[in-house]
Amino acid sequence: MKISSTVGFIGLGNMGQPIAMNLLKAGNPLRVYNRSRQKTRPLVQQGAVDFDNPAEVVEPGGVVFTMLADDASLRSVVFENTNFIERLAPGGVHVSLSTISPATAREMSAYHDRHGVSFLSAPVIGRPDRAAAGTLFILLAGRPEAKEAILPLLERIGERIFDFGHEPWLSNVAKLAFNFNIAAAIEIMAESFTLAEKNGVPRQRMTELLSETLFSSVIYRGYGDLIARHAYEPAGFRLSLGWKDLQLVLDIADESVTPLPIGSLLRDRLLSAIAKGRGELDWSALALGVSDDAGLRQ
């Protein structure tokens, strides 16, 4: 399978911009679109061409990446710009990097199929710093020949690709299940640090103990430090967005009839945080609720 050398990129937020920049730097002519146009500037300065309308970045038989905030934004781009799919067809490839619901991925996949376009779901793991360094982890699923065709592009943006097979939505399932682990790790660190604190062991000592022994990992080191210091601003990932992610997790739990007790606990924890006005803090701020409940912050 051959794809045109020009690449389209829609959605240039915190994550989209560094990813697009890596594609551009690798020598791929880039057509870009972002709702608020000023974000295209750094890319345009490096040679990208920007457009007024998402459908315009698409070329027949080309490849287009989307990195959008949520299901609704992706649906808007694909369904409300009817040219989008027609311009891409036939033989084009749409690589969706966003964290969306498997249900939307399923619907996208069927819709693209009907138009002879390959829909690849490729949500990524990593924050903006990894995106800039080109060391994201990519969860890839969709048609084998399409995956192969875009491999050289993906290698520019990620350090490793995890293949979840032919059905695009499976990489979205995996991404949600992954994020669920992060939220749970935040909660358990918060509980164990609070338990330590109330028994005379400083929170900071606990995060060292975890992250410098058997829990030595990016998540435990990074979030452990934030939670130990109650340092939730500026937000790396806003709590209100974390709640959206968890809702997607609970939705697939419902659809697949899967009880998820820690999911339920996080549901109440995040709702409480939002009710207390903490939605704009980093989502690790759910740890404040643990301290509240222990009478530490009245």
Q: Is 272 in the site for a copy of itself (CB under 8 A)?
A: yes
Name which position in 218, 229, 231, 233 contacts a copy of itself (CB under 8 A). Answer: 218
User: Closer to a copy of itself at the Cβ: 167 or 225?
Assistant: 167
Our CB check for a copy of itself shows the closer of 111 and 162 to be 162
Size of the site for a copy of itself (CB under 8 A): 80
Q: Which segment (4-12, 53-61, 79-87, 173-181) binds a copy of itself by CB under 8 A?
A: 173-181
Whose Cβ is closer to a copy of itself: residue 83's or residue 247's?
Answer: 247
Interaction of residue 233 with a copy of itself, rule CB under 8 A: no
Q: Which of 39, 147, 175, 198 is catalytic?
A: 175
Active site (annotated) includes residue 175: yes
Instruction: Give me the least distance between CB of 247 and a copy of itself, in Å please.
Output: 8
The pair of three-digit structure tokens given for residue 271, joined into one six-digit string: 């709702």
Which residues of the chain form beta strands (DSSP E)? 7-10, 30-33, 49-50, 63-66, 93-96, 118-121, 124-125, 136-140, 158-163
The Cα 24–Cα 87 span in angstroms is 22
Contacts of the segment 155-164: beta carbons below 8 A, 24+ positions apart: 156/22, 156/23, 156/25, 156/26, 157/19, 157/22, 157/23, 157/124, 157/131, 158/124, 158/126, 158/134, 159/134, 159/135, 161/137, 162/137, 162/138, 164/139, 164/140
Nearest CA among 162, 126, 166 for reference residue 22:
126
Confirm or reject binding of residue 201 to a copy of itself (CB under 8 A): yes
Site for a copy of itself in 141-170 (CB under 8 A): 160, 162, 164, 167, 170
Comparison of 51 and 178: residue with beta carbon closer to a copy of itself: 178
User: According to CB under 8 A, which one of 25, 114, 205, 229 is a site residue for a copy of itself?
Assistant: 205
Q: Is 72 in the site for a copy of itself (CB under 8 A)?
A: no
* Residue list 181-200, contact with a copy of itself (CB under 8 A): 181-182, 184-185, 187-189, 191-196, 198-200
- CA dist 151 and 79 (Å) reads 26
Q: Report the nearest approach of a copy of itself to the CB of residue 261 (Å).
A: 5
CA angle 215, 245, 84 (to 5 degrees): 125
Our finding on whether 254 is near a copy of itself (CB under 8 A) is yes
Nearest to 204 by CA among 181, 188, 221, 216: 221
- Applying CB under 8 A, the span of 17-25, 82-90, 228-236, 287-295 interacting with a copy of itself comes to 287-295
Residues in region 86-145 near a copy of itself by CB under 8 A: 102, 125-126, 137, 139
- Which residue lies nearer to a copy of itself by CB, 80 or 268? 268
Contacts of residue 51, defined as CB under 8 A and 6 or more positions apart, other chains included, come to: 31, 32, 33, 57
Q: How far is the CB of 284 from a copy of itself (least distance, A)?
A: 14
Pairing of strands 30-33, 49-50: parallel
